[in-house]
């Protein structure tokens, strides 16, 4: 009786999860991709590594795929979303910091003078991030991010930032997972800025999100332990930091990596220099009409060396304008 | 045709994996545990958090369980296994370091004079670990660990170290996973010393192993990128380091934690001070006949404060002698 019931439960579960995914595979798994070389590179790779009995077969446990976030899974113009969050935090916290009215880069943020902010350079931006992201417990910060991301809107599209994710990349995430891959985010952005919403938006749970991080301190408040966020950087998950972050968190080399900027160069290089078939893919922002067009000259998402060396490494370069039928989910 | 084939594949997969696990659940999931309060605490907790519709129900995504390794999942006497590995590395590397014949603690290791080694204290042991664990690429080091763990034997039992894992704890790992938990190892030991074998021995994949780690450097050798292990400690995953390591890697608070020493105090405290039902469990080594008996006075696996405060925190203290029918898998 128990066994019969267990069996029925399993069958129901299977139809709901596993087999449904397989049935969907029979339809087009990448409907927002035009039939170009980029799409074929993705499908060929997945077909190759999942073909049982083939010399290139990769067991499920080694099917690790890593995705950059800013500019690869969602937009990063006119400024990184986390920077927009930090600017809003400056405004929220300004009443507790009267000196900010006189001090750059905070003064510039409060007055909407982005030229003054930009003049403080990278140091100024790091100042803003570190200052606005510290002093809370990790649980408080999670709530702050969750509240902000649920309501903040993009300056030009007026959409929620979580609506401005790339539909074709959501399809790649789902396609890989349906083929036994474990998908990770490996971003230069703050890990605690991403984890509150990546599962809902990308289907990537918190423990599969790798990013830059602040130092935290274990201490007690009102008799309960908390982790307090300190104004010190613990790890920068960018450039050579990406393979290091991958090694720290995953402990094995991915077989597929997706990026869009020179900050992803080492992750792509590390991934695709392994033995066995590999997929390295760069999203090239070429669509000024539907999104943005930028690469070498952009201060955000600079893409130069990785673009030059893509052919040598066999990396697929996605031409957003040519390869993608739609950009965002709301355009489907 | 495609659909029929897919269905059949799914059914086969399900019988092989999911339903087999469920069928086993119908039998006793913890056959090596005597029917004492410890066993009941584990079963009651799992039953409570998985009961659909109950106010204490925890969704699968939040079913995170963390396990210390040394003394919790496998033996740690007469010395931590990683220290035995480091001693063997000293012997292997001695010919490249003629000065070691004159320098403690290396001299003591080479002469089998453990008193001289012990006299160098914690600093000496850290010296041995750092020196013997650096200078290789991560891939070279993985092979060194894999080769050693496949052949090295315990000094008194003459068993492979991976045979000296605790059968009752293997059952807890499997029982939790069969109930939707994701199981993680959170150990003071080196993460790269564990990852090569934890999947085979515990069913815990590399990306679910958190531990202490050395700094690594991304560089090129013969035109290929490597991660070189440096002689510098990057992170110590012990005491307050455990909740920090959990936060870095998992990003959410576990609902169950298993340890055996004061080094696990903060992990247990962090886990069980969350809201909703929690399980904190301490393995108390009380069995001098079948394993070892030690706690407050032991330099390895010191258990004092956590033992004192267990009742206050509601932690279950496993009395190994009384609660476990067998210790090791080969005794089944």
Q: Give how far B270 is from chain A: nearest CA, Å.
A: 6
Any chain B CB within 8 A of the CB of A312?
no
B19 has pLDDT over 90: no
pLDDT band at A24 (very low <50, low <70, confident <90, very high): very low
pTM, two decimals, is 0.91
CA atoms within 13 A of residue A277's CA, in its CB half-sphere: 18
DSSP state of A273: T
Any chain A CB within 8 A of the CB of B213?
yes
Any chain A CB within 8 A of the CB of B251?
yes
Q: Do B252 and A207 touch (CB under 8 A)?
A: yes
* Two tokens, residue B332: 């089944």
Instruction: Kindly identify which residue of chain B lies nearest to residue A198, measuring between CA atoms.
Output: B251
Q: Give how far A239 is from chain B: nearest CA, Å.
A: 10
Q: How far apart are CA A207 and CA B319, in angstroms?
A: 33
Q: What are phi and psi of B62, to 5 degrees?
A: -100, 5
A124 has pLDDT over 60: yes
Among B24, B196, B207, most A C-beta atoms within 10 A, so best to mutate, is B207
| Residue-level pLDDT at B26 | 63
Q: Residues B234-256: what's their mean pLDDT?
A: 97
Q: Give how far B99 is from chain A: nearest CA, Å.
A: 33
pLDDT band at B302 (very low <50, low <70, confident <90, very high): very high
Cis peptide before B105 (omega within 30 of 0): yes
Q: Give how far B168 is from chain A: nearest CA, Å.
A: 25
Q: What are phi and psi of A220, to 5 degrees?
A: -115, 140
Instruction: Kindly identify which residue of chain A lies nearest to residue B214, measuring between CA atoms.
Output: A248
pLDDT band at A26 (very low <50, low <70, confident <90, very high): low
| Residue-level pLDDT at B152 | 98
pLDDT in tens, A58-77: 999 999 999 999 999 999 99
B7 has pLDDT over 80: no
A18 has pLDDT over 60: no
Q: Do B10 and A14 touch (CB under 8 A)?
A: yes
Any chain B CB within 8 A of the CB of A61?
yes
Looking up tokens 């007026």 gives: A158
Contacts of B137 in chain A (CB under 8 A): none
Instruction: Kindly identify which residue of chain B lies nearest to residue A222, measuring between CA atoms.
Output: B273
Partner residue facing B225 (CB), from A199, A216, A273: A273
A80 has pLDDT over 80: yes
| Nearest alpha carbon to residue A280 among A297, A294, A259 | A259
Find all residues with CB under 8 Å of B309, minimum gap 6, and list them: B265, B315
Q: The dihedral of CA B177, B178, B181, B182: what is its sign?
A: positive
pLDDT in tens, A154-177: 999 999 999 999 999 999 999 999
pLDDT band at A23 (very low <50, low <70, confident <90, very high): very low
Contacts of B26 in chain A (CB under 8 A): 2-3, 6
Contacts of A246 in chain B (CB under 8 A): none
Any chain A CB within 8 A of the CB of B154?
no
B218 has pLDDT over 90: yes
Q: How far apart are CA A109 and CA A117, in angstroms?
A: 7
| Residue-level pLDDT at A8 | 41
Q: Do B218 and A240 touch (CB under 8 A)?
A: yes
Specify the range with the lowest mean pLDDT, choosing from A49-53, B4-8, B45-49, B287-291. B4-8
Partner residue facing A244 (CB), from B216, B252, B269: B216
CB atoms within 10 A of CB A132: 23
Among B62, B218, B255, B280, most A C-beta atoms within 10 A, so best to mutate, is B218
pLDDT in tens, A278-317: 999 999 999 999 999 999 999 999 999 999 999 999 999 9
Q: Do B251 and A19 touch (CB under 8 A)?
A: no
| Nearest alpha carbon to residue B245 among B282, B208, B273, B217 | B208
* Two tokens, residue A43: 């499908």
Any chain A CB within 8 A of the CB of B216?
yes
| Residue-level pLDDT at B22 | 47
- Each residue of A4-31: b (16+ CB within 10 Å) or e? eebeeebbeebeeebbebbeeeeeebbe
Any chain A CB within 8 A of the CB of B243?
yes
pLDDT in tens, A308-325: 999 999 999 999 999 999
Partner residue facing B251 (CB), from A9, A22, A209: A209
Chain B contacts in chain A segment 97-126 (CB below 8 A): none
Q: Residues B250-277: what's their mean pLDDT?
A: 96
Partner residue facing A218 (CB), from B23, B206, B266: B266
Contacts of A216 in chain B (CB under 8 A): 244, 247
Any chain A CB within 8 A of the CB of B86?
no
| Nearest alpha carbon to residue A289 among A327, A256, A323 | A327
What does the radius of gyration of chain A's CA atoms come to, in whole angstroms? 21
Contacts of A3 in chain B (CB under 8 A): 23, 26
| Residue-level pLDDT at A2 | 38
Q: Do B247 and A216 touch (CB under 8 A)?
A: yes
Q: Residues B196-206: what's their mean pLDDT?
A: 98
Report the 3 state secondary structure along chain B: CHHHHHHHHHHHHHHHCHHHHHHHHHCCCCCCECCCHHHHHHHHHHHHHHCCCCCCCCCHHHCEEEECCECCCECCCCCCHHHHHHHHHHHHHHHHCHHHHCCCCHHHHHHCCHHHHHHCHHHHHHHHHHHHHCCCEHHHHHHHHHHHHCCCECCCCCCEHHHCECHHHHHHHHHHHHCCCEEEEEEEEEHHHHHHHHHHHHCCCHHHEEEEEEEEEEEEECCEEEEEEEEEEEECCCCCHHHHHHHHHCCCCCCEEEECCHHHHHHHHHHHCCCCCCEEEEEECECCCCCCECCCCCCCCCCCHHHHHHHHHCCEEEEHHHHECCCCHHHC
pLDDT band at A49 (very low <50, low <70, confident <90, very high): very high
| Nearest alpha carbon to residue B235 among A26, A85, A307, A213 | A213
Contacts of B227 in chain A (CB under 8 A): 243-244, 247
Partner residue facing B205 (CB), from A3, A61, A213: A61
DSSP state of A246: H
- The β-bridge partners of A153 are A160
Contacts of A250 in chain B (CB under 8 A): 206-207
Contacts of B251 in chain A (CB under 8 A): 191-192, 195, 206-207, 209
Q: Do B247 and A225 touch (CB under 8 A)?
A: no
Q: Residues B247-269: what's their mean pLDDT?
A: 98
Q: Do B250 and A10 touch (CB under 8 A)?
A: no
A327 has pLDDT over 90: yes
Of all residues in chain A, the percent with pLDDT exceeding 90 is 88
Among A1, A23, A207, most B C-beta atoms within 10 A, so best to mutate, is A207
Among B4, B8, B10, B271, most A C-beta atoms within 10 A, so best to mutate, is B10
Chain B contacts in chain A segment 62-81 (CB below 8 A): 64
Any chain A CB within 8 A of the CB of B143?
no
Instruction: Kindly identify which residue of chain B lies nearest to residue A221, measuring between CA atoms.
Output: B273
């Amino acid at each position: 009786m128990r066994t019969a019931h267990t069996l029925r439960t399993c069958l129901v579960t299977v139809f709901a999860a596993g087999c449904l995914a397989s049935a969907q595979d029979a339809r087009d798994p990448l409907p927002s991709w035009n039939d170009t070389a980029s799409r074929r590179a993705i499908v060929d790779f997945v077909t190759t590594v999942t073909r049982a009995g083939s010399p290139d077969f990769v067991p499920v446990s080694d099917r690790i795929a890593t995705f950059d976030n800013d500019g690869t899974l969602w937009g990063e113009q006119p400024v990184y979303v986390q920077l927009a969050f930090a600017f809003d935090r400056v405004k929220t916290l300004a009443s507790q910091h009267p000196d900010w009215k006189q001090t750059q880069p905070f003064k510039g943020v409060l007055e909407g003078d982005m030229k003054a902010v930009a003049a403080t350079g990278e140091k100024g931006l790091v100042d803003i991030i570190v200052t606005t992201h510290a002093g809370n417990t990790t649980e408080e910060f999670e709530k702050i991010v969750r509240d902000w991301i649920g309501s903040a809107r993009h300056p030009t599209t007026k959409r929620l930032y979580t609506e401005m994710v790339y539909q074709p990349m959501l399809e790649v995430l789902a396609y890989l997972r349906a083929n036994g891959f474990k998908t990770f985010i490996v971003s230069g952005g703050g890990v605690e800025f991403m984890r509150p919403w990546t599962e809902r938006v990308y289907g990537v749970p918190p423990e599969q999100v790798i990013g830059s991080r602040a130092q935290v301190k274990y201490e007690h408040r009102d008799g309960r332990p908390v982790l307090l966020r300190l104004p010190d950087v613990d790890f920068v998950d960018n450039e050579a930091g990406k393979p290091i972050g991958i090694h720290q968190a995953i402990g094995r080399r991915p077989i597929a990596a997706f990026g869009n900027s020179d900050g992803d160069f080492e992750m792509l290089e590390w991934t695709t220099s392994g033995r066995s078939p590999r997929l390295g893919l760069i999203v090239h922002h070429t669509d000024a009409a539907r999104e943005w067009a930028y690469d070498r000259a952009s201060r955000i998402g600079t893409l130069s060396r990785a673009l030059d060396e893509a052919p040598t490494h066999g990396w697929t370069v996605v031409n957003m304008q040519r390869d993608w039928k739609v950009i965002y989910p709301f355009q489907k």
